């Protein structure tokens, strides 16, 4: 096994300028990530300098068997924490051979919104809090839980330490450092309220880069859990009953929100989000109705309300934002399995481009 480890960790830079590029895309379910690797003649830092590639869309639920070729367009480059050196991870989106975005390509529409001059001028910042649950591989039950049984009730586990309260920290720390290595703007991690559940935060990042970074951070997490023999779940309510669900709270601000008088801009933006509550909920993740019950730090899925420092609200405004009269707000409605391209662009579109 030591020889295998040596080969996996082999540094190619001593012998060749060639690098490995791992092309990554979102599969047909909207949550499954796919990837494959190719050799390039030398280091690349600009995605426009990378070749387009293709894959068999009939094997990912994204094309019929009789016309299965789907084209990958490289969009963002990150350093590869697994192969290291000059090797890279490449976030791609997918198109037909004629150049049309396939139906599961949510990045294309998001890019159009984020390239709108009115959106560009407002320099939208996002901070996305991605919650997830670590599961024991063979029994599909949370890490640290007795098989077929339950741990003690919630309370001691949030931001906890200790072998009887914190489960999977080695995976979480490995993911944290790998994301920093990759160039993802990961800003923190913490243990969550339900044992076996964790959270990482991406941001503040501008525009579509926030969504690219969340997807690559998810990819890295899936790869690390693969190595550890653990399963990661992004289900918004992995365990029914008196346990917290998993969300992807999305913090948001614009240039005018961050300037003097920004609090009034924030309140107008929240009013717009309230008017489009149903449309946002419909796009904020599958199974979210199991999580947004009005309990466990959520607002009811059919109710829109906002408040200062209220974790049971749809939109939470921080005490500092209220005090300073400017800042950001938190949309607490997105579920852990949301598509960050959809959520970030939808918030920008509703608050910046939509006129009721």
Of all residues in the chain, the percent with pLDDT exceeding 90 is: 90
- 218 by Cβ neighbours in 10 Å (0-12 / 13-18 / 19+) ranks as buried
| Predicted TM-score of the model (pTM) | 0.96
Cβ pair 39, 19 in contact under 8 A:
yes
Rounded CA-CA distance 55/50 in Å is 16
Judge if the upstream peptide bond of residue 204 is cis by omega within 30 degrees of 0: yes
Q: For the chain, where are the alpha helices, taking DSSP H only?
A: 2-8, 107-114, 117-120, 169-182, 208-228, 255-258, 262-275, 277-283, 319-324, 340-348
Q: Say yes or no to pLDDT of 1 above 70.
A: no
Q: What is the pLDDT of residue 23?
A: 98
Nearest Cα to Cα of residue 76 among 207, 187, 172:
207
Q: Indicate the pLDDT class of residue 255, thresholds 50, 70 and 90.
A: very high
Q: Say yes or no to pLDDT of 185 above 90.
A: yes
What would the pLDDT profile of 305-331 be if each residue is shown by its tens digit?
Answer: 999 988 789 999 999 999 999 999 999
User: Running DSSP on this structure, what letter comes out for residue 353?
Assistant: I
Tokens standing for residue 218: 């998810």
Strand partners, 345: none
């Amino acid at each position: 096994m030591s020889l295998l480890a040596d080969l996996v960790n082999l540094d190619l830079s001593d012998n060749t300028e060639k690098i490995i590029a791992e092309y990554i895309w979102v599969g047909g379910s909207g949550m499954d990530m796919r990837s494959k690797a190719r050799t390039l003649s030398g280091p690349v830092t600009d995605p426009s300098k990378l070749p387009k590639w293709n894959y068999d869309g009939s094997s990912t639920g994204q094309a019929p068997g009789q016309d299965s070729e789907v084209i990958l367009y490289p969009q963002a480059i990150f350093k590869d924490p697994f192969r290291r050196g000059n090797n890279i991870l490449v976030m791609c989106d997918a198109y037909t051979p004629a150049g049309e975005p396939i139906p599961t390509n949510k990045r294309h529409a998001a890019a159009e919104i984020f390239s709108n001059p009115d959106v560009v001028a407002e320099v939208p910042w996002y901070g996305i809090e991605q919650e997830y649950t670590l599961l024991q591989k063979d029994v599909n039950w949370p890490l640290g839980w007795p098989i077929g049984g339950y741990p003690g009730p919630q309370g001691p586990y949030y931001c906890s330490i200790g072998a009887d309260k914190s489960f999977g920290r080695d995976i979480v720390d490995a993911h944290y450092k790998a994301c920093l290595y990759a160039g993802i703007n990961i800003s923190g991690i913490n243990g969550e309220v339900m044992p076996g559940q964790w959270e990482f935060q991406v941001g503040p990042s501008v525009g579509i880069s926030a969504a690219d970074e969340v997807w690559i951070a998810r990819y890295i997490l899936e790869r690390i859990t693969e190595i550890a023999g653990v399963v990661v779940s992004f289900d918004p309510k992995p365990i029914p009953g008196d346990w917290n669900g998993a969300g992807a709270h999305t913090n948001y601000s614009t240039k005018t929100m961050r300037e003097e008088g920004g609090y009034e801009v924030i309140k107008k933006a929240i009013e717009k989000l309230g008017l489009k509550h149903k449309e946002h909920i419909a796009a904020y993740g599958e199974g979210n109705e199991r999580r947004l019950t009005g309990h466990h730090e959520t607002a009811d899925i059919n109710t829109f309300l906002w408040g200062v420092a209220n974790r049971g609200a749809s939109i939470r405004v921080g005490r500092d934002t209220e005090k300073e009269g400017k800042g950001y707000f938190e949309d607490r409605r997105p579920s852990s399995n949301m598509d960050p391209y959809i959520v970030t662009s939808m918030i920008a579109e509703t608050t910046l481009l939509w006129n009721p």
